[in-house]
Structure 1
Amino acid sequence: MTPYSWHRPPFYPPPFFHRSLVNTQYVKKIIFIKPDVSPQESYYDLRMCGIRKLKYLKGLHAFIGNVPVHLRTDFQTHPVIFSVEEDIEVKIHVPIKGKIFSKPQVIPWGIKRIHADLAWPVTQGKGVRVAILDTGIAFDHPDLRPNVKGGINLLNRLLPPYDHNGHGTHVAGIVGAVNNRIGVVGAAPEVDLYAVKAFNKDGTAKLSDIIKGIDWCINNKINIINMSFGFNEPSSTFQEAVRRAHQAGIVMIAASGNKGTRGRLEYPAQFPETIAVTSINKEDKISDFSTIGPNVDLAAPGEKITSTWTNNSYRELSGTSMAVAHVTGVAALILSKYRLSSEELRHFLRQSAEPIKASSYAQGAGVVNASVLARAAVE
């Protein structure tokens, strides 16, 4: 018996516990466990409450399981439980789509605008592990194949994390498309990309799968998570997952949202542990679709961005998803050269940002800027 068990007050399962569970209906819930309780002890207690199909997330010290619908909220007061929340549906930030095309290699305007090409003689992101938490990656694309090092399909563990939507592949290309004479070049062309597929081909995901993705990133020592998705309502369990990933040293970069509203950003960009990003166009103006607010950290190119797409092609998209990927690429360039904590990296990005003619409410510290890396090398 663990020392904790000696001091734990007795807990009695609700009266329904002895009923037959053959015809019981269940609802999936996310259950965070208190830090000082062992997973084995928690598993046993949760099973005693009638919760089934429990999956332990080692990196987050949490469970995902099926809770009987008639189970009262009594079990949430159990001494082992930190917080409980029902699973919800999340969507990627649906981009504005442009044409599909193929052509000889170019450096997209967004990569030039953030001056990533000026940093390449100094750093190209080598050795930095970036997770694209999205619809997967078309890892057979010639502009991505050398840099995709692995990943996981959270929708079906028996299948590879291949992208059948295109969104994740587009984001991955902005972050780390290879410099190989074809297509496009990403902000960090030597970065290690990992496809964490939580969203299906329609661009929707269960919050539980996103949390599983964050747990996978902690266990696999990912340095940066690109989060090009969001939702409006706060989630205590999601915030706890983000907080624990932040404590593990992971940098999380998130899209402010594509609703064009002013005030509150979408989640996870609203969480203080993430770096929140809005979009600008070629004229250095905040994009009309960008959600803005006081929690914005940075702005980055997000309109008419050309990047990799499915079927070995390239496509132009617009959205804060694209802006996030530019910041992720610059963050990878910095971490490849300097060993920084997540908060030190945030400070570096904000201090080196280039202000534009927009309120701080819309741009944060300004447009992400990689040229400081080239200047630092000279100095």
Structure 2
Amino acid sequence: MASSLRLLVTLAMVCAGRPITRRTSLGALAGALLTGFGVASGAATDSDETAENSGDDGTDDASADDHPRYVVGLEPGTATESVARTASTVYRSLGLASSGSVVVGAFEEDAREELESRSDVRYVEPDHKRVQAVRSSDNGTNRQRTGEPNETVDLTDEQRTPWGVERIGAAEVHERGTGEADATVAILDSGIDPEHESLEVPDGRAFADCAGSDCAADWDDETGHGTHCAGTVAALDNDTGVVGVAPEVELCALKVLAGDGSGYDSDIAAAIEWCADNDVDVINLSLGGSDEAQVLEDALRYAYDRDVLIVAAAGNAGAAGGVDYPAAYDECIAVGATNDHDEVPDWSARGDTIELVAPGEAVLSTKPGDEYVYLEGTSMSTPHVAAIAAQLLGQGLTHADDTDDVDEPGGVRGILRESADDLGAADDEQGFGLLNAFEALESVDPVTTGEVTDVRASTATLTGELRSNADVESAECCFEWRQGGDEWTRTEPESVEPGDSFSAALDELQPETAYDVRAVMFADSGASGSAGGDGDGDGEPDGTDDTDDETTASIVTFETGRDELAVETTVVEAGDHRTLQATGSLDGIGDADTDANADPVTASFRVRPEGEENWDTTDGQVLESIGSYEASISGLEPETVYEVEAVVAAGDGDGDSDAGTDASDADETTGGIVTAETDPEPGLPSIDRFELTDDSNSQFVRCAVNWGVSVSNGELELVETELRYATESDDDGDGDGSDDDTDESIATGDTSTTDDPLHHVVTELEDQSEESGIHTLRHSDRLEGAGESYAVTITVTDTDGNTTDATEQLTLDERSPPPSIDQFDVTTDDFLGTPEAVVDWAVSDEGSELDGVVLELRRDGSLVDETSSMARDEEASGTDSLRADDAEESGTYEVLIRATDYFEQVSEERETVELAAE
């Protein structure tokens, strides 16, 4: 029976895609899975301070490996394979754009230490665990209209509005109606009950295992925490159970916490990355811990830079614990808690990064199994904010106008701050104040100015939208436009229903002129749902006058085209070895005063190999307004430089869309020529990135080589980089000291010792079609090698023996000027009858590499006395005395100061003094 169980356990782990290492025995696997089955499920039962990390640094996970679990962050461009090979188990990898890739695995101690010493590794940190920020016991607060924590409520045949939904004004928003909110909130938590009667969860994904035997989905909820948060965000208004803050918002379940309510930083970071790559609008993080984590900060920045708003629980440790991570990071809106008396409970976290507070004490929401329960904690506060943020984003607003400005981010984040209610508490308790849903949504203009389309020299089409949050059945809307600072001109109003767009066409505009435009909604015109006209000709809807309230949207500026046929070639770049991708800008369609302006034009590109005479032309595109256009130019030769220019042919004046099809009969103009080279022939190794950086330090002359290589139809075998002196006769730049036209192929596989002045760094690659990394080449004799010109060669070899190489030159560790003598003042004195020269001196070195100062006293060319100072770094100073040999030796002496740097560059000054014994 025992052996059968072990086999079943192993098969279960393989089918689930869980890591099995070369060191894992069947017995260990069975024990790990049995431990998972023993985890209790149900409502959250954390202690009063579950947001704390409880000392769990993520390094004690031995369920699949007996080595600590670490997160390894790499420099951008570094391949993950070289790190993965050193791990006993690899759990996952992440690609966080400019922050660099991440490898998560179990590592032996010597492997971890080696990784920490590598220049292409940004950090090595434990894979910490975060926990759900929920409390489970009452702190004695007197509640008049709320329940006790963990109290289950029977809501059969009834629906309640939780007190928090009412307090933030969301119930009033429900009554007014907000229309459809085209926004998604991802609940990164313990999962969501996929079958709950009050929830619709169309999408989900598991980053942590659902170990229970009755999991309806791999992202099912084992603790109830995620389901509770989801209900606060978007429980349905279906006459059953509870209603959420924003029932129309779409939910996405991302399971990052296991059945014990904890989850790894790397799993949370992977879920955040998934959100950024899959059009999620808001992330709800009702979890936290006391440890900082670079992988979380990088993931948050990755998502925040991709228009995702992140809301996180501040924590439940009160003033003592500070704000938890990840909430404390700048990319997060850190949310504290309030009770139903608008007080911030003692247990709600305090800190400078608190941004908002929201209801978090005795919050009634959904529980797995079509049940409902009271829970409390900043976990419960966070989804209130996430829901309103989603509603605002659903109105077409940006999450932040400036993602680099934490103080004034603008966008939805700014609206949430500006509309919050000041509770009179300290800033580190309430931040900007209590979330006010009604004021936040009221602050959004009901009308918006859209894109200006169909722009020509004298015409344009204006577009706008009446937002779905507009509190009208219909409204009269129009546009106002002007040139520069002129008076506004108004278009004819039209009746528009909430959620619909409207437009207006302008003509008789001036060519090459900037115009402002804004949409306008008349406040009173649509209250009854009637559509008024403008029969009185005053520019207002009938039944209104010039004093009626109106709402104007933000201003959009556009510029008309030229009144002639005009085009520019803007961008041309390689698509592959046979194609180029070209972009042109149509700046003018024709004379604004002729019929040609009413006809479409035909835009294309023409191409030829550099230096040749004849052109080939691409198929034309019929364009009716100015703007950019693109084309893929195919059928080209590999590794060939081509000239490309944009071409536009005018219409034929008959007003139809066959413009320019016969270019010989039409006016034609071209843009400037842009050159570009096609990629190399597939099959040969390609050097995709070859960037050199001076990485010298106080010990070695060093060059960091950031490289990326690939091969399209094979596998790479060897990448080698070499550092050598660049010689004067190396006219062809290949670093071999000759002026031939053939680059040297280096495929020796030799690695030099640290004693050699030239170094070869070799990486062996197996079963890879592309790879990248950073090599550090060094000259071990810095005194000899600093300031010299070097040639760096990279050679790539594939498994068929094909090689590709490239060479670049640079000067490494450029020497700074010799030291500067900033002060050299000599005075005379007498020491116990012996004459002496007293020297006040100061020296400095631009390169911060002083290597000593010597003072000498000489007479008739002979050394009489000397002293030295161990001057180091950038500057040094002192006062020293130099004495004659004999008290009777009066006369003329020479005092010398000599400053030396690391490179033995010397600066000297001398001064003559008269010494006389007293």
Match of 1:44 among 54, 78, 81: 81
Q: Does 1:224 align with 2:282?
A: yes
Match of 1:73 among 110, 113, 116: 113
**Secondary structure of the corresponding residue to residue 70 of structure 1:** helix
Q: Given residue 89 of structure 1, which amino acid in structure 2 is its aligned partner?
A: K
Residues 195-234 of structure 1 show CA distances to partners (whole Å, capped at 9, x for unaligned) of 1111112211122221222122222221111111111122
Alignment size in residue pairs: 353
Q: Which residue of 1 aligns with 2:412?
A: 345
Q: Given residue 87 of structure 1, which amino acid in structure 2 is its aligned partner?
A: D
Q: Which residue of 2 aligns with 1:370?
A: 437
For the structure 1 residues 225 and 370, does the alpha-carbon distance in structure 2 shift closer, same or farther, using more than 3 Å as the test?
same
Contact 2:364 2:374 in 1 (8 A): yes
Q: Does 1:152 align with 2:205?
A: yes
**Secondary structure of the corresponding residue to residue 55 of structure 1:** strand
Query: Distance between the aligned counterparts of 1:59 and 1:233, measured in 2?
Result: 21
> Which of structures 1 and 2 has the bigger CA Rg?
2
Residues 326-374 of structure 1 show CA distances to partners (whole Å, capped at 9, x for unaligned) of 1111111111113213442211100011111312221111111111224
**Secondary structure of the corresponding residue to residue 280 of structure 2:** coil
Query: By how many angstroms is 1:102 displaced?
Result: 2.2
Residues 29-54 of structure 1 show CA distances to partners (whole Å, capped at 9, x for unaligned) of 2122323x16xxx1332245456426
Query: Distance between the aligned counterparts of 1:375 and 1:249, measured in 2?
Result: 21
Residues 262-315 of structure 1 show CA distances to partners (whole Å, capped at 9, x for unaligned) of 573111111111001111111111122101112111010111111000111000
Relative to total residues, which structure has the larger helix share, 1 or 2? 1
Contact 1:123 1:336 in 2 (8 A): no
Q: Given residue 202 of structure 1, which amino acid in structure 2 is its aligned partner?
A: D
Query: By how many angstroms is 1:176 displaced?
Result: 0.7
Residues 167-218 of structure 1 show CA distances to partners (whole Å, capped at 9, x for unaligned) of 1000000001111011111111011111111111221112222122212222
Q: Which residue of 2 aligns with 1:142?
A: 197
Relative to total residues, which structure has the larger strand share, 1 or 2? 2
Contact 1:307 1:314 in 2 (8 A): yes
Residues 44-81 of structure 1 show CA distances to partners (whole Å, capped at 9, x for unaligned) of 32245456426322456322223223324222343432
Q: What TM-score, normalized to structure 2?
A: 0.37
For the structure 1 residues 284 and 49, does the alpha-carbon distance in structure 2 shift closer, same or farther, using more than 3 Å as the test?
same
**Secondary structure of the corresponding residue to residue 270 of structure 2:** helix
Q: Does 1:336 align with 2:394?
A: yes
Residues 115-174 of structure 1 show CA distances to partners (whole Å, capped at 9, x for unaligned) of 112334453662211111111001200100x3x121111123895200011110000000
Contact 1:226 1:254 in 2 (8 A): yes
Q: Which runs of 5+ in 1 are unaligned?
A: 1-20
Match of 2:185 among 116, 130, 143: 130
**Secondary structure of the corresponding residue to residue 337 of structure 1:** coil
Q: Which residue of 2 aligns with 1:185?
A: 243
Query: Distance between the aligned counterparts of 1:66 and 1:247, measured in 2?
Result: 30
**Secondary structure of the corresponding residue to residue 169 of structure 1:** helix
Query: Distance between the aligned counterparts of 1:207 and 1:340, measured in 2?
Result: 28
Match of 1:98 among 125, 146, 150: 150
Query: Distance between the aligned counterparts of 2:337 and 2:360, measured in 1?
Result: 5
- Superposition map of 1:1-379 within 5 A: 25-35=66-76, 37=77, 42-50=79-87, 52-53=89-90, 55-59=92-96, 61-96=101-136, 97-103=149-155, 104-120=158-174, 121-123=176-178, 126-144=181-199, 146=200, 148-156=201-209, 160-261=218-319, 264-342=322-400, 343=409, 344-372=411-439, 373-374=441-442, 376=444, 377=470
Moved more, 123-132 or 49-58: 49-58
Runs (4+) off by over 4 Å = 21-25
Query: Distance between the aligned counterparts of 2:177 and 2:106, measured in 1?
Result: 50
Query: Distance between the aligned counterparts of 2:116 and 2:443, measured in 1?
Result: 54
Moved more, 273-282 or 149-158: 149-158
Contact 1:119 1:374 in 2 (8 A): no
Q: Which runs of 5+ in 2 are unaligned?
A: 1-21, 25-64, 137-148, 212-216, 401-408, 445-469, 472-550, 552-918
Query: Distance between the aligned counterparts of 2:318 and 2:160, measured in 1?
Result: 30
Query: Distance between the aligned counterparts of 2:358 and 2:429, measured in 1?
Result: 11
Query: Distance between the aligned counterparts of 1:141 and 1:59, measured in 2?
Result: 35
**Secondary structure of the corresponding residue to residue 80 of structure 2:** helix
Q: Given residue 211 of structure 1, which amino acid in structure 2 is its aligned partner?
A: A
Query: Distance between the aligned counterparts of 1:115 and 1:317, measured in 2?
Result: 21
Query: Distance between the aligned counterparts of 1:99 and 1:198, measured in 2?
Result: 26
Q: Given residue 393 of structure 2, which amino acid in structure 1 is its aligned partner?
A: L
Query: Distance between the aligned counterparts of 2:96 and 2:240, measured in 1?
Result: 39
Query: Distance between the aligned counterparts of 1:113 and 1:22, measured in 2?
Result: 56
Query: Distance between the aligned counterparts of 1:25 and 1:201, measured in 2?
Result: 22
Aligned CA-pair RMSD: 2.3
Moved more, 334-343 or 46-55: 46-55
**Secondary structure of the corresponding residue to residue 165 of structure 1:** coil
Query: Distance between the aligned counterparts of 1:355 and 1:125, measured in 2?
Result: 30
For the structure 1 residues 73 and 124, does the alpha-carbon distance in structure 2 shift closer, same or farther, using more than 3 Å as the test?
farther
